[in-house]
């Protein structure tokens, strides 16, 4: 069975199996996991997979999950990211309780342990440039070469390391390296860098430090300090595990965590790399980190995706050890599933075409009841005003329809949802030959949408009253990239030029315009929508979360 199938059937995966076995064998009193983001960007849906895994395991096995900021690179990290990450984890529905930590909380301890490694002859200060170090590290087929500084005396190493800390040397002048094995088959063990000089102001420690620990040095030791039992990360760290273990073995750490790796989430038509997402924002390709086309948690939220849909999605994809690309259609399926259940129905006309009902009395309006949710009577009804002047969707009319077009055209009769049958009598055009208005008649005997003589119509269309509806701006989003596997190295070339369409003349029901709700709404026959924060009292703005059906697959022809 695939990981997907196992997850769907049992909710279990190989990591949960390991945790269960460890608890059965009483190896730990309590399982402790952590989610360790680097605050150098906003979280994306790939992170949601890791969050759901770490927090989910803690919940299911009555353990704890820490939120730990891996804040070891002050040149790229910002308070804005720290704040957004906390907000997004909460919004996804997870809670770290009091267990909020920062790798920077451990800088002092990490430093002292590094001095210990030097004293034990297990670390040395290297004066080579970054470039020299890189070149001499060797390749997969070629062993590395020892640094000429590798056999420095302990006292000299200690002195230099302390002066690095005191800020005596410029950036890049020296590094502290572990002394392991330059000919190891695993490049990560070829004397990895533990500390580098960086004169930069840290969001939390300010100017206190001139040296910062590497990810490899900070990560496992932070895990050990916090008593993490299962340190779960993505597959690219598999080759780092021997180093993770080496450091834990050599240092007097208070606990012994174990690292496990799983396959990161890749999603079709999407790039989940913080570098690319940062460039999309900085380059102005999108309106910000929370642009609804972004795969960030903030973007999905602004687009109207409910957190439950994201949780359901990551549950369905499961956790495996082999990399793969998940079809974005699976995420969309989960979004539709939830919204179909939760979203109230309303009517909106995205591209309005005016209709005048010639035989309806001028000045008269009547109130019509409309159902708020077809499967949930408790959601109740609302009233719509029907009158002589209406709007219908421009696409619902064709002057010279092809054979299979069943909606409105001259001489045909259709049902207006909840209201009456109408028949089109004439299309009025402007000087350019464009249809600007339809003249129709209605059958008063069809009130409620059924003919007493039993005659049928082939189409039911949504509509709005002209006077009692309100203008709105509607933003339709499509995939940000036009290729199933966009090229991360040259992503700009793969951007979808049609990823955003703004409809500025749309009309919506008066009741939606007046309510300030941020609840998801289904605009009948159009899709799911949510009010955007750009709305003003006079001009509500709605984002399309997703269409009703998977039309995208057909448009691009590829999948499905």
Can you read off the two tokens belonging to residue 65? 């999950």
Work out whether 327 is an interface residue with ligand ATP (CB under 6 A).
no
Check 34, 49, 190, 274 and give the catalytic one. 274
CA distance linking residue 552 with residue 271, whole number of Å: 18
Whether the CB-CB separation of 521 and 528 falls below 8 Å is answered with: yes
The CB-nearest residue to ligand ATP is 46
Work out whether 274 is an interface residue with ligand ATP (CB under 6 A).
yes
Nearest-approach distance from CB 312 to ligand ATP, in angstroms: 17
Q: Per-residue contact track with ligand ATP, 209 to 238, x per CB under 6 A?
A: ------------------------xx----
Whether the CB-CB separation of 478 and 502 falls below 8 Å is answered with: no
Residue owning tokens 């062993």: 143
> Residue 232, SS3?
strand
Q: State the pairing for strand pair 421-429/175-178.
A: unpaired
Q: Per-residue contact track with ligand ATP, 370 to 409, x per CB under 6 A?
A: ----------------------------------------
Task: With both helix axes pointing from N to C terminus, report the angle between 107-119 and 154-165 in degrees, rounded to the nearest 10.
Answer: 160
Is 250 an annotated catalytic residue?
A: no
Candidates 137, 150, 199, 264; binder of ligand ATP (CB under 6 A) is 264
Candidates 7, 19, 36, 211; binder of ligand ATP (CB under 6 A) is 36
Work out whether 74 is an interface residue with ligand ATP (CB under 6 A).
no
> Residue 485, SS3?
coil
Can you read off the two tokens belonging to residue 443? 């059958």
HSE of 526 in the Cβ direction (CA atoms, 13 Å)? 32
Work out whether 46 is an interface residue with ligand ATP (CB under 6 A).
yes
Residue owning tokens 């049928």: 456
Work out whether 486 is an interface residue with ligand ATP (CB under 6 A).
no
Nearest-approach distance from CB 434 to ligand ATP, in angstroms: 48
Whether the CB-CB separation of 300 and 293 falls below 8 Å is answered with: no
Is 236 an annotated catalytic residue?
A: no
Nearest-approach distance from CB 31 to ligand ATP, in angstroms: 17
Is 274 an annotated catalytic residue?
A: yes
Work out whether 37 is an interface residue with ligand ATP (CB under 6 A).
yes
Candidates 218, 272, 357, 440; binder of ligand ATP (CB under 6 A) is 272
Task: With both helix axes pointing from N to C terminus, report the angle between 45-60 and 14-24 in degrees, rounded to the nearest 10.
Answer: 20
Nearest-approach distance from CB 225 to ligand ATP, in angstroms: 17
In the complex with ligand ATP, the residue whose CB is nearer, 39 or 465, is 39
Nearest-approach distance from CB 163 to ligand ATP, in angstroms: 30
In the complex with ligand ATP, the residue whose CB is nearer, 29 or 275, is 275
Work out whether 68 is an interface residue with ligand ATP (CB under 6 A).
no
Can you read off the two tokens belonging to residue 319? 């956790």
CA distance linking residue 528 with residue 526, whole number of Å: 7
Binding window for ligand ATP (CB under 6 A); candidates: 30-38, 349-357, 394-402, 441-449: 30-38
Nearest-approach distance from CB 317 to ligand ATP, in angstroms: 10
Binding window for ligand ATP (CB under 6 A); candidates: 42-50, 179-187, 199-207, 335-343: 42-50
> Counting beta carbons within 10 angstroms of the beta carbon of residue 405, is it exposed (0 to 12), middle (13 to 18) or buried (19 or more)?
middle
Candidates 33, 50, 412, 543; binder of ligand ATP (CB under 6 A) is 50
Check 137, 150, 204, 264 and give the catalytic one. 264
CA distance linking residue 57 with residue 306, whole number of Å: 22
Q: State the pairing for strand pair 541-546/469-477.
A: parallel
Work out whether 295 is an interface residue with ligand ATP (CB under 6 A).
no
Check 4, 38, 78, 132 and give the catalytic one. 38
> Residue 419, SS3?
coil
List all residues 6 or more positions away from 530 whose beta carbon is below 8 Å from its beta carbon. 303, 304, 518, 519, 520, 521, 542, 543, 545
Work out whether 66 is an interface residue with ligand ATP (CB under 6 A).
no
CA distances from 19 to 25, 30, 311, 315 (A): 10, 10, 21, 17
Query: CA torsion angle for 290, 294, 295, 298 (degrees, to 10)?
Result: 10
Nearest-approach distance from CB 138 to ligand ATP, in angstroms: 24
How many helices (H) and strands (E) the chain has is answered by 15, 27
Nearest-approach distance from CB 47 to ligand ATP, in angstroms: 5
In the complex with ligand ATP, the residue whose CB is nearer, 418 or 491, is 491
Helix boundaries (H) for 400-519: 510-514
In the complex with ligand ATP, the residue whose CB is nearer, 110 or 118, is 110
Work out whether 316 is an interface residue with ligand ATP (CB under 6 A).
no
Active site residues: 38, 264, 274
Interface positions with ligand ATP (CB under 6 A): 36-38, 40, 46-47, 49-50, 233-234, 264-265, 272, 274
């Amino acid at each position: 069975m695939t990981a997907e199938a196992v997850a769907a059937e049992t909710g279990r995966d190989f990591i949960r199996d390991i945790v269960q076995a460890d608890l059965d064998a009483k190896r730990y009193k309590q399982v402790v996991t952590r989610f360790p983001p680097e605050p150098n960007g906003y979280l994306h849906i790939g992170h949601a997979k890791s969050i759901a895994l770490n927090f989910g395991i803690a919940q299911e096995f009555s353990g704890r999950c820490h939120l730990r900021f891996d804040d070891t690179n002050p040149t790229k990290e910002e308070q804005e990211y720290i704040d957004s990450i906390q907000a997004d984890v909460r919004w996804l529905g997870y809670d770290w309780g009091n267990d909020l930590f920062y790798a920077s909380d451990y800088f002092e301890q990490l430093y002292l342990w590094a001095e210990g490694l030097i004293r034990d002859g297990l670390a040395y200060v290297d004066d080579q440039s970054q470039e020299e170090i890189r070149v001499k590290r060797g390749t997969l087929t070629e062993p590395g070469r020892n640094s000429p500084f590798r056999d420095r005396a302990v006292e000299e190493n200690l002195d230099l390391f302390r002066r690095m800390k005191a800020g005596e040397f410029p950036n890049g002048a020296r590094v502290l390296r572990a002394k392991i094995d330059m000919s190891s088959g695993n490049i990560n063990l070829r004397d990895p860098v533990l500390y580098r000089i960086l004169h930069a102001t840290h969001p939390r420690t300010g100017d206190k430090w001139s040296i910062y620990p590497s990810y490899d040095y900070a990560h496992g030791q932070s895990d050990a300090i916090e008593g993490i039992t299962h340190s779960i990360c993505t597959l690219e760290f598999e080759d780092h595990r021997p180093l993770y273990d080496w450091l834990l073995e050599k240092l007097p750490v208070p606990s012994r965590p174990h690292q496990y790796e799983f396959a990161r989430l890749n999603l079709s038509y999407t790039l989940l790399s913080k570098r690319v997402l940062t460039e999309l924002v900085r380059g102005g390709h999108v309106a910000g980190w929370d642009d609804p086309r972004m795969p960030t948690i903030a973007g999905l939220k602004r687009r109207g995706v409910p957190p439950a849909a994201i949780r359901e999605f990551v549950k369905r994809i499961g956790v495996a050890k082999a990399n793969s690309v998940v079809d974005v259609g699976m995420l969309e399926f989960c979004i539709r599933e939830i919204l179909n259940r939760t979203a109230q129905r309303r009517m909106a006309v995205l591209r309005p075409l005016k209709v005048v009902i010639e035989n309806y009395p001028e000045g008269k309006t009547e109130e019509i009841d409309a159902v708020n949710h077809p499967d949930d009577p408790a959601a109740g009804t609302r009233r719509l005003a029907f009158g002589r002047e209406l709007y219908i969707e421009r696409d619902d009319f064709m002057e010279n329809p092809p054979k299979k077009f069943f909606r409105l055209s001259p001489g045909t009769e259709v049902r207006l949802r909840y209201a009456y049958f109408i028949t089109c009598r004439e299309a009025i055009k402007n000087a350019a030959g464009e249809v600007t208005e339809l003249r129709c008649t209605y059958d008063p005997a069809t009130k409620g949408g059924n003919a007493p003589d039993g005659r049928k119509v082939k189409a039911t269309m949504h509509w709005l009253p002209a006077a009692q509806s309100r203008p709105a701006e509607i933003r339709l989003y499509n995939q940000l990239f036009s290729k199933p596997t966009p090229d991360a190295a040259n992503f700009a070339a793969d951007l979808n030029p049609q990823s955003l369409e703004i409809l500025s003349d749309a009309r919506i029901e008066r009741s939606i315009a007046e309510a300030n709700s941020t609840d998801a709404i289904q605009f009948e026959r159009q899709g799911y929508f949510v009010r955007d924060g750009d709305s003003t009292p006079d001009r509500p703005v709605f984002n399309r979360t997703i269409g009703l059906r998977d039309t995208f697959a057909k448009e691009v022809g590829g999948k499905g």
